[in-house]
Structure formats: C-alpha cells, structure tokens
Amino acid sequence: MKNLFIGVLTAMVIGSAGFFVMDVEAKRFGGRSFFRSSGVKHFSGFKLPKVAKARSPKMKVKQRKPKSIKTIGAKKKASITGGGRGTKTKTVLKTKRMRERFKQKAAPIVSNSVKKPSMTGKQRRTVIANKYRDNPIYSRARAGDKRAYRKRYDRYYGPDYEPPAHVFKSAPSYGLLDTIFLYSLLSNIGNAGAFAHNHQNDHDYRKWRAEADKLAEQNADLRKQLTAMDAEAAKLSGTPIDPSYLPKGVDPDIALAANVRATTLPQLRVCVGSQSGAYYKVTVSVLGPNLGDMVSVSPVKTSGSNQALEFLGDGKCDAAWVQRDSYWNYIEEKKSSDLPFERISSPYEEAVYLICHADGPGKITELSKEHKVWFPKQSGAVETWKNFIGEDVDYGNVRTVLNTTSMAITSNEEALLKVVDADNCMLYVAAPGATGFMETVEKTAIDRHLVMIDVNDGDLDNTTDPAGEKVYDYKEIDSSVYPNLARQNGLVFGSGDIDTLYLKADFVVGNAWKVANPELYPSVALDIVSLRDEIREAVGQ
C-alpha cells in the first residue's frame, strides 16, 4: 500500500510539474540521425504546418521581435499572494543562520597531516564513519528514516526555538554531538541529568561540559542550570551506564553534529561545470542546504554537459545539470534509446554567448571557414555547436575542435585567451549574470577588444526535440547586463541589446541512484521540483 501511494503521488507530480521519462521518448523517436541523414528538419513531419519564414541563403529574416529579459540579475520579488519561500526553506535558512552565529569553529574530527595531501570529501566522510561506526547513537541514526528529519527536528525544538545567546560562544559541535542539542538538554533538568550520567565517559560530551563550565563562570543562569544537572546526575549514581541513552522522543540524528549526520545519509553526487559556474553555485547554495535532510549533496566538477552525461553513465556521479540541447546529441553518440537517466526539473534558462574580437564578425551568420570558434571539447558549448551544424551544415565549415584537432583546449579560460584578433571567437553557454567566468569576460572586454555578437540565425530557431518542443528560443540580453560586451558594430555603436538563443538547464537523476534509493527518490525529486523559485533566484531570474 505504501509503495502504491508513493507511485500515485509521483505520477501526480509528473503530470503537474513537467516530469517525463526520457527513455520512453527516445524509444518513440529514436534520435535525430534519420532526420539529419535524410535532409528532413527535425520532426517536421510530426508538427502542424507553420507559415514559412522568408529566407535567402545568407540573409535570415526574423518575423518577430525577440522576447526581452531586462530584469536578469535583479532580485525576484515575492508574490503578493504569498508565493515566497516555503516553510521548509525558511527553516533550513534559519538553522543555517543559527550555525553561522557561532564564534568558535568546531575542532575537526579528521585533520590532515601537514605532510599528506588534503583529503577528498569522500575520504573525510569515510574516516568519520569509521570513527563512530561502533557508537550506538551513530549506529541508530544511520539505520533511521531519512525522509522525515525536518519534521522530527521541528517537533523536538519547536518552530520558534531560539537558543540562548551564550550557546553561540561555544563551538558549533563537539565531535559526534551537536552543540545546540547539548544546550537544549538544560531546558529539562531531568533529561540533562540522565544524559550527564550515561555519557560521563564520553570524550565528546566531556569536552562540551568543560567549555560550558568556563562560560558559566561569567553566566549565573548557565551556572545554575549546570549545578542542577549535576544534582540530577548524582541521583543516578550507581545505576548502570547506557551509552546509547537519549531522552524519550529524541531521534538519534537530532543529537548528531551536522558533518557527522551527513555521513549517515545516502550520497547524491551532482555533476556540475566549473566552480565559477551557475551549476556549481545552485548545487552548493540551494540543493545542498535544502536536500540535506535526506541526502548528502556533493558537487562533482566537470568540463561541461558532455562530460557530465559521460560521468553519469559511468557511475561517477548520481545526478547532473545539463543543457537542454545535450540530450539528443547523447542519443546519437550512444546509438541507444535506453538512457541511464531521467529529467526531473528545468528551473531556469541559459543563454548562448558568442564572444569575438571587436574587429571580427558582427553576428553568427558572418562566420566562415576563415574563423575559429573556441570551446573545450567536452563542454556544453560542444553540444550547442553540434546542434548548429545539424540545423545548418555551413557551420561545419567554421574551424572548431570538432573538425580541427589542434584546437583542443581544456577550459573556458583558455578559450577566452584565444580571442586575440578578428579571426577568433569563443562560445559559452550559461545563465546570464550568474557566473564568475562571465564577470571576468565583462571586466576585460574593453582592454581586450571583446564584444558579444548576435546569434540570430533563423535556422537555429527551428531546432526541435523529438517530442516537437523547441530547444532554443530567441530573446535579448539587455545591454545593461554586460555593458562592455554589448558594444555593437554599426551605426548604433555603444548601445543595443544582444539577440541570442536561450535554452533550458535540466536536472537529471541517474537510474542507478533511483534503483538504489527507491523510497527516497520520490521525496528528493519532489523537493527539487519545489525549489524552482530558490534556484531561479540564485541565478538572478
């Protein structure tokens, strides 16, 4: 019955939130190779007839004005009808702010030797887990339900709980134990005394108590509470010690320090791009804190969407952020419709940036075989350029890493350094205003004579996926977002928005992770969908 309920609930969300099972679509349409080899536009036979656009071989005529996004970078306003942050997000942020108030830092459970290289996150989690694996509280927490932690947390502390000010003069944790939990015991002296008795030989507890005694020298109220705690503990003298003791109704994971509790949770390794990109930012600042009740989120850096999908298929990550236009390229390359992942959410949009020297082309249709367009071989830009070639074979004549092996580079920074004259450009795909890399490009644009040129080829606007949905949409990047890069060639030099293509950023989860976490997956997926507003705010949309 429980599994049936989860299945029905998931189906409801799939219908309302835009979920879809990608391998079903793949089996239905079988990729784009047929349409490319036959010369037929993608899925044009499956779409209703449209009024043809006027075109000449080298002159593309737009029949509509691109949509304009002039608020990119501005903060999203809360809805008048109450559409602000959800209750869970508010609680997560409150907890985060509480922990940021600690004046001391917790002593590391695992410290790196000066002579040894730093540990990876995985190695650190393993060491912590091994250290506490025989601890009865830790063992019980590891075996507990991962889905209802926030409810248990709120039930224990109450939604309005605020620790006394002296709590934040301590470290945020003492080994296994969470500081806020330890001080909360003092609100019930009976529980505090029982805890003190049963954990009197516990090194982590004794460390906390020594520092609490120091604070009590200057705090009469705390001194009174600790004295009462000792009196209650004395009443239990001679009774057996239970090292697994927790007050009635307290779940073990409530007592654990945050970094220790993280080792009890399933890992969700999310493939992202570079550390300066929006995928990394969203994963660390939104997914990590908000999914931290159920899973331990860790970013896995890649060179872009191409490598992210490769890592997902190889089991090097459990989920990934990818560009919408990467999906069907993956089908063609693997020659298989049995995809190892499923798309969960598409919360925000990315823009295609074509950055050239100011003396170079003014728009994408002016590129020729004399030009070089630089991008890393496994980046998302590769996927975009492959789609450009699929829609207009002339783009296959432009020199890129796809047809010129000597143009192999490993980073967007290296691509940027190649744009030194009229024959060189670079391609980059990211959320406008949300990446550190584009901040660097904007800062150096004038000195290095860089401009962002229009990507306004009508052929590209027609790109569709096998379900008949458009992959790209024409919009404008307002000149105020990147004023140095928006210096257009022509009569209106110094002003003007950039016409370019926008596409969705997709979050996909690997089938292997779903199979390994059958009960947890629906809850995690629902939470990711519900975080749409927080994700959009993080990228300025």
Kindly report, residue by residue over 261-306, the tens digit of the pLDDT. Answer: 888 888 999 999 888 888 999 999 999 988 888 898 999 999 888 8
Q: What value does the CA radius of gyration of the chain take, rounded to a whole number of Å?
A: 28
The least confident of 73-82, 111-120, 253-262, 419-428 is 73-82
In the prediction, which pLDDT does 457 show?
A: 82
pLDDT for residue 521 is more than 90: yes
Yes or no: say if 456 and 60 are a contact pair by the CB < 8 Å rule: yes
Kindly report, residue by residue over 408-429, the tens digit of the pLDDT. Answer: 998 999 999 999 999 999 999 9
Higher pLDDT, 278 or 21: 278
Q: How confident is the model at residue 444 (pLDDT cuts 50, 70, 90)?
A: very high
Taking CA atoms, 288 is separated from 76, 301, 366, 511, 519, in Å, by 21, 15, 43, 20, 20
In the prediction, which pLDDT does 434 show?
A: 75
Domains of the chain: 101-111+118-262 (no CATH), 284-538 (3.40.190.10)
Q: Which of 328, 249, 263 is nearest to 130 (CA)?
A: 263
Yes or no: say if 312 and 319 are a contact pair by the CB < 8 Å rule: yes
Higher pLDDT, 302 or 466: 302
In the prediction, which pLDDT does 353 show?
A: 94
Kindly report, residue by residue over 375-387, the tens digit of the pLDDT. Answer: 998 788 998 998 8
Q: Is the dihedral of CA 101, 105, 109, 113 positive or negative?
A: positive
pLDDT for residue 52 is more than 60: no
The least confident of 123-127, 246-250, 354-358, 363-367 is 123-127
Query: What is residue 513's three-state secondary structure?
Result: helix
Kindly report, residue by residue over 225-266, the tens digit of the pLDDT. Answer: 999 999 999 999 999 999 999 999 899 999 999 889 888 888
